[in-house]
Amino acid sequence: MDWASIPFIPLSMILPLVGILLIVFLEERSSKWIALIFSGLTLIVSLISLFYFDFSKSHKVQFYHELVLIEELNLKLALGADGLSYLMYILTTLVSFVAISWSLRDHQINHRLKEYYAWFLLSEATLVGVFTSWDLIVFYVFYELTLIPMFFVIGIWGYKLRLYSAYKFFIYIFVSSLFLLLGIVSLSTHHYKQFGKFSFSYFELLKNQYDLAFGVFLFLLFFIAFAVKTPIVPFHTWLPDAHGEAPTAGSVVLAAILLKMGTYALLRFNIGLFPKESVFLMPLLVLWGIATIVFASWFTISQNNVKRFVAYSSVSHMGFVVAGMFLLNKEGLRASIIEMFAHGLTSASLFMMAGFIYNRLHSFNMHALRGSIRFMPVFAFLVGITAFSSMGLPGGSSFWGKFLTIMGAKEYTLQLALLVIAGAFFSVLYMLYLMKTLYLDTKEEGRLVHFVDVRGFKLLAFLLVVLPMFLVGLFPFLFFSFFDAYIDTVLSQLVKVAGGISWR
Amino acid sequence: MEIKSLISIEYPNLALFFPELIVLITGFILFTLDIILKRISHSLAIGISIMGYLIALLYILLNFDLKGETFYNLYVRDQFSSLLQVFMILLTIVLLAFTYEYQKFKRSIYSEFYYILSFSLLGGMILASSYNLLLIYIALEAVSVSFYIMTALQKRDFNSKEGAFKYLILGGLSIALASYGAVFLYLYGGSMNLRQILHLDGPNKELLILGLILFLFGFAIKIGVVPFHFWLPDAYQGAPTPITAYMASVGKIAFFAPVIRIMPLVQESFHKTWVITLAVLAVITFLYGNVVALVQKDVKRMLAYSSIAHSGFILAGISVAETIGLKAVVYFLLAYSIMGMLSFLVLAVLERSGAWENQIQEFSGLRLSQPFLALVFAVSLLSLLGVPPTVGFFVKALVFMSLSFEALWWVAILMIGGVGISTGYYLRLVVLMYMKEEEKKLTFNPTGFEKLSMAIMALSLIVLGILPMILWNYISPVSEMLFGR
């Protein structure tokens, strides 16, 4: 049997769907195991596919499959992965498996199990679709479809304010992505006016030419949707509610993958389709990214609720991703992509930390969990690694994101680099504050000694995200090999279309 | 013109007119039997109706590509009319199963209902297949009069009578406006045939524009376009719920059909008037419909306003007089006819559970006692909202596409606002059904046929969204044909 001909990507969308069917028709007590098995299988499929991905040609779309939906509009279900998509695809299958194996032993998940696991498998399938579709309408369909599972997960299994948060989450993302829809169809009609046929294919739309004003208008239509999804600071208000009220596994998927949809799409569509406009708007966007880092860090420090604390810290990390991306040079783009992956790992781990402590203490209050971690050595060790990674300590996963962003900024001016360093400083500050609260503050010890350390499936979930952090931190070049070729193509495209970057 | 051609006698080509003829004969048989037998039994009436409709449906499906004109160009059959008629007949057949159970429960049984239904279906079918002002007028009356009567068919219910009365008065106004517009159009073109009138490049353009706008306003009342919508919420709320479903689906198709037929005839000289008039009407309609729906406590009324809002979305597509706009509009119209029918039919079934008043809080925890109905209703609501992968998403994308084609950015941006507002009320029902605890225990079972037809409709909403080519392959050639390409 020829392994390379296996349709890896369609397979990893179909497997979860098969899992959903089984969950629906089999009895409730088996649903968690079905979910675990099928997301595990998907993870294995994605890991096997690593051997067949040609890293030397990572700027080319590989594992490509297509199915024509409407001939006349050139609407096709085109699935495939280049380096960037592929990295996100691996992250998706990994984190979905982590989220499901965490849920097995989560006390919060004690009712309507069938629906719960079905929604998680559905979100896995659609997320794979988001990162691997090359047809913009199909991308949009998957992008919107990820809303539905998360809406129900937040609304049914969330904490106290779950309904409010679910509404807010849905309405923010749904309305903002309508702008994206308008942008997509405008691109297509523009293509029609230039080339005489409609198309939604990414490669076809790359050929479009715009004058600057219209281009900026389209850029903004795309940008509104992704700025809300990412989120960038004035649009971030849905995030602390959604992440704070979702059950642990929901927050894990939200923070680790759903936010990456925004940054992935910014990189893929805004920079890929509108190089000229990106160069034009670049100073604004870089500064906006840095502002996001700084403001979000301040918001983070002032939080009382540890889950909202972690949620805001995600926003500040996304600031690094956005700022790095719009630096539009090799270091910046590398920083941005590796930070996406690294943040997927650290935020998953931090949310599991919050959920774990809640299971023991039944509180998210920062004061309540002072010094709570000291009698759980394994847990304390894992959280320590995560926190240092997230802070950007050399050897930790976020180090490369921050370091390379500073390098990239230094290519323009020293002042810009200093601004990024200031942002990085605040992000260290809140992490240190979290660690101080967890490890160093004291609490009457009688209440804590009977705490049971992390074990079983929860330990597995932790290890699956903590070990890759070392991998990212110590061997970043393994990951650069995923997307270096892609970055080179983007940059050469920028030089070709926009004539390089004049802003120095 | 030669005298000979004026007096030549054309033998009607009944092959073209056969489906309408069958529906008409069905109506007359029902009518006659009702008189002869004093009161026709319901099973007999339903049997005859379904048989007649099925024959008509089969005839259309077998001769889908039939094309031609007859009765001195009064009557036109082409793929467009066939397509719309297939949907109208199918939805009417589905409806028959629901009306009997509903009327039995409400103890408001009328055997007249069956032949009035078939007359209204006949009117709708003719509306979809004529360019002639006079025939459109007659068909419009046939549909409207049937609707007035059907709205009032609820015994011991004041709301039903009130709704019917309002509908009657405003319907009269609408007919008056439309016929007044028709007079101006005749003055301008010297013909009853819309194709001739609009193709003519005559001297008095203001007559044409005035006539066209008045004619459109007449239809706007029927469709429920703001500011002519005042009858609609009352009529929709007062009417027996299956009839509401009928008006929101078959009625919508029928009243939109002539407007859609005018769309490809729009000429350069009044293109701008067309775009501006319809775009403004569309924007007012969907904004008003969605905002008012947001504050409704009564779900039936809320869905009535949502129907107004959807008329607005369709009008936004109609304002783009291009092939892509036409395709979007036809797809939207057919998709809405399924969504609208399904959502009202769920209410019709729920009303049979006893003390059900269609209040919004009654939907709380519906998933526990009626999981099937809750699921079906959720699918139809998400489709009305336009969440992928349902068909509601696909048609909204098509409308956005046609708006961007015409560069009507302001309409598109406002439409985003309209859809954004609508999330509020659709989502609230989904949240109530799936995330709240049960308020009312409902103990009853929908009949097997009801379940089957609702399941098929819900499934078709999803399938048409995932595999849009199923319907697209019919709609696209039809639109090209109407544009004469």
Q: Do A140 and B388 touch (CB under 8 A)?
A: yes
Chain A contact for B462 (CB, 8 A cutoff): no
CA distance A179 to A187: 12
* Structural contact between residues A17 and A125, judged by C-beta atoms closer than 8 angstroms: yes
Helices B323-350 + B371-385 axis angle, to 10: 150
Residue A69 phi, psi (nearest 5): -95, -55
Pairing of strands B75-77, B68-70: antiparallel
Residues of chain A contacting residue B397, judged by C-beta atoms under 8 Å apart: 137, 140, 181, 185
CA distance A309 to A318: 14
CA distance B403 to B275: 11
Q: Do A171 and B387 touch (CB under 8 A)?
A: no
pLDDT(A502) > 70: no
Q: Sort A414 into a burial class: Cβ within 10 Å, 0-12 / 13-18 / 19+.
A: exposed
Q: Do A156 and B435 touch (CB under 8 A)?
A: yes
**DSSP count for chain A of H helices, then E strands:** 21, 2
**Is B363 inside any structural domain?**
yes
Interface of B with A in 88-147 (CB under 8 A): none
Total number of domains constituting chain B: 1
Per-residue CA distances from A399 to A326, A336, A471, A481 (Å): 19, 12, 12, 18
Q: Which of A115, A182, A224, A245 to mutate to test the interface with B (most CBs of B within 10 A)?
A: A182
Q: Do A178 and B419 touch (CB under 8 A)?
A: yes
* Confidence tier at A503 by pLDDT (50, 70, 90): low
Chain A contact for B469 (CB, 8 A cutoff): yes
Q: Do B404 and A182 touch (CB under 8 A)?
A: yes
Cα–chain center distance at B426: 21
Cα–chain center distance at A287: 22
Query: Nearest-CA residue of chain A relative to B367?
Result: A112
**Is A471 inside any structural domain?**
yes
DSSP reduced 3-state for A135: strand
Give A164→chain B minimum CA distance, Å: 10
What sections of B386-408 are H helices per DSSP?
391-405
Give A162→chain B minimum CA distance, Å: 10
Pick A189's closest partner by Cβ from B401, B419, B469: B401
The enclosing H or E element of B303 equals helix B299-318
What sections of A50-208 are H helices per DSSP?
83-103, 113-132, 136-145, 147-157, 162-195, 202-205
Q: Do A70 and B412 touch (CB under 8 A)?
A: no
Chain A contact for B472 (CB, 8 A cutoff): yes
Give A70→chain B minimum CA distance, Å: 5
CA distance B142 to B137: 9
Most distant CA atoms of chain A, gap in Å: 76
| Of the candidates A230, A246, A359, A250, the residue with the CA atom closest to the CA atom of residue A308 | A246
Contacts of A48 (CB under 8 A, 6+ apart): A3, A6, A8
Residue A65 phi, psi (nearest 5): -135, 145
Q: Which of B398, B401, B466 to mutate to test the interface with A (most CBs of A within 10 A)?
A: B401
Quote the percentage of chain A above a pLDDT of 70: 97
Q: Do A175 and B393 touch (CB under 8 A)?
A: no
The answer to whether the Cα torsion of A85, A86, A90, A93 is positive or negative is positive
DSSP reduced 3-state for A469: helix
* Structural contact between residues B391 and B465, judged by C-beta atoms closer than 8 angstroms: yes
**Is A99 inside any structural domain?**
no
Chain A contact for B393 (CB, 8 A cutoff): yes
* Structural contact between residues B26 and B52, judged by C-beta atoms closer than 8 angstroms: yes
Six-digit token pair at B287? 């904004």
Chain A contact for B423 (CB, 8 A cutoff): yes
**Is A78 inside any structural domain?**
no
Amino acid at B226: V
Q: Do A137 and B397 touch (CB under 8 A)?
A: yes
Q: Which of A45-59, A396-410, B394-408, B435-449 is the least confident region?
A: B435-449
**pLDDT at B100 (0 to 100):** 86
* Confidence tier at A500 by pLDDT (50, 70, 90): low
Pick B416's closest partner by Cβ from A140, A167, A179: A179
Size of interface A-B (CB pairs under 8 A): 75
Total number of domains constituting chain A: 1
CA distance B263 to A241: 47
* Structural contact between residues B240 and B352, judged by C-beta atoms closer than 8 angstroms: no
Tens of pLDDT, residue by residue over A130-184, are 999 999 999 999 999 999 999 999 999 999 899 999 999 999 999 999 999 999 9
Q: Do B431 and A145 touch (CB under 8 A)?
A: no
Per-residue CA distances from B73 to A66, B65, B106 (Å): 47, 18, 45
Tens of pLDDT, residue by residue over B349-375, are 998 887 888 899 889 988 888 899 999
* Structural contact between residues B392 and B260, judged by C-beta atoms closer than 8 angstroms: no
| Of the candidates B146, B128, B144, the residue with the CA atom closest to the CA atom of residue B136 | B128
Quote the percentage of chain A above a pLDDT of 90: 60
* Structural contact between residues B396 and B309, judged by C-beta atoms closer than 8 angstroms: no
| Of the candidates B178, B419, B389, B292, the residue with the CA atom closest to the CA atom of residue A182 | B419
Give A143→chain B minimum CA distance, Å: 9
Residues of chain B contacting residue A148, judged by C-beta atoms under 8 Å apart: 382, 387
**Is A468 inside any structural domain?**
yes
**Is A227 inside any structural domain?**
no
Residue B70 phi, psi (nearest 5): -150, 180
Query: Nearest-CA residue of chain B relative to A175?
Result: B420
pLDDT(A60) > 80: yes
**Is B253 inside any structural domain?**
no
Helices A330-361 + A476-498 axis angle, to 10: 130
User: Does residue B264 have a cis bond before it (omega within 30 degrees)?
Assistant: no
Give the structural domain span for B333: 289-485
| Of the candidates A470, A396, A476, the residue with the CA atom closest to the CA atom of residue A435 | A396
pTM attached to this predicted model: 0.94
Q: Do B405 and A156 touch (CB under 8 A)?
A: no
Query: Nearest-CA residue of chain A relative to B477?
Result: A72
CA distance B433 to A27: 23
DSSP reduced 3-state for B73: coil
Beta strands in B17-170 (DSSP E): 68-70, 75-77
Give B469→chain A minimum CA distance, Å: 5
Chain A contact for B368 (CB, 8 A cutoff): no
Cα–chain center distance at B182: 22
Residue A459 phi, psi (nearest 5): -65, -40
**Is B77 inside any structural domain?**
no
**Is A109 inside any structural domain?**
no
**pLDDT at B462 (0 to 100):** 94
Per-residue CA distances from A396 to A198, A387, A403, A437, A470 (Å): 47, 9, 11, 21, 6
Give A201→chain B minimum CA distance, Å: 15
Pick A189's closest partner by Cβ from B382, B387, B405: B405
Cα–chain center distance at B54: 20
Pick B401's closest partner by Cβ from A71, A179, A188: A188
**Cβ neighbours around A284 below 10 Å, total:** 10
**Is A395 inside any structural domain?**
yes
Tens of pLDDT, residue by residue over A249-272, are 999 999 999 999 999 999 999 999
Q: Do B393 and A178 touch (CB under 8 A)?
A: no
DSSP reduced 3-state for A396: coil
Q: Do A170 and B423 touch (CB under 8 A)?
A: yes
Tens of pLDDT, residue by residue over A80-100, are 998 899 999 999 999 999 999
| Of the candidates B351, B406, B419, the residue with the CA atom closest to the CA atom of residue B108 | B351
Give A189→chain B minimum CA distance, Å: 6
Pick B423's closest partner by Cβ from A163, A171, A188: A171
**Is B303 inside any structural domain?**
yes
Q: Which of B381, B405, B414, B464 to mutate to test the interface with A (most CBs of A within 10 A)?
A: B405
Interface of B with A in 31-50 (CB under 8 A): none
Chain A contact for B374 (CB, 8 A cutoff): no
Residues of chain B contacting residue A71, judged by C-beta atoms under 8 Å apart: 469
Pick A185's closest partner by Cβ from B387, B397, B416: B397
Please give the span between the terminal C-alpha atoms of chain A, in angstroms, as a whole number. Answer: 55
**Cβ neighbours around B139 below 10 Å, total:** 24
Per-residue CA distances from B420 to B338, B383, B426 (Å): 22, 14, 11
Bridge partners, A201 (sequence order): A135
Query: Nearest-CA residue of chain A relative to B466?
Result: A69
| Of the candidates B329, B283, B345, the residue with the CA atom closest to the CA atom of residue B308 | B283
Pick A182's closest partner by Cβ from B412, B435, B469: B412
Bridge partners, A135 (sequence order): A201
**Cβ neighbours around A260 below 10 Å, total:** 28
Query: Nearest-CA residue of chain A relative to B379?
Result: A148
Six-digit token pair at A501? 């970057």
**Is A340 inside any structural domain?**
yes
* Confidence tier at A29 by pLDDT (50, 70, 90): confident
Could you give the angle at the alpha carbon of B282 between the alpha carbons of B280 and B284, nearest 5°? Answer: 70
Q: Do B434 and A155 touch (CB under 8 A)?
A: yes
Q: Which of A114, A189, A191, A222 to mutate to test the interface with B (most CBs of B within 10 A)?
A: A189
Q: How many CA atoms lie within 13 A of B468 on its CB side?
A: 34
Q: What is the pLDDT along chain B (485 residues), one digit of tens a residue?
A: 566 666 677 788 888 889 999 999 999 999 999 999 888 888 899 999 999 999 999 999 999 988 888 888 889 999 999 999 999 999 999 998 888 888 888 888 888 899 999 999 999 999 999 999 999 999 999 999 999 999 998 888 888 999 999 999 999 999 999 999 999 999 998 888 888 888 888 888 889 999 999 999 999 999 989 888 889 999 999 999 999 999 999 999 999 999 999 988 888 888 888 999 999 999 999 999 999 999 999 999 999 999 999 999 999 999 998 899 999 999 999 999 999 999 999 999 998 887 888 899 889 988 888 899 999 999 999 999 999 889 999 999 999 999 999 999 999 999 999 999 999 999 999 999 999 888 777 878 888 889 999 999 999 999 999 898 899 999 999 999 988 86
Give the structural domain span for A499: 276-504
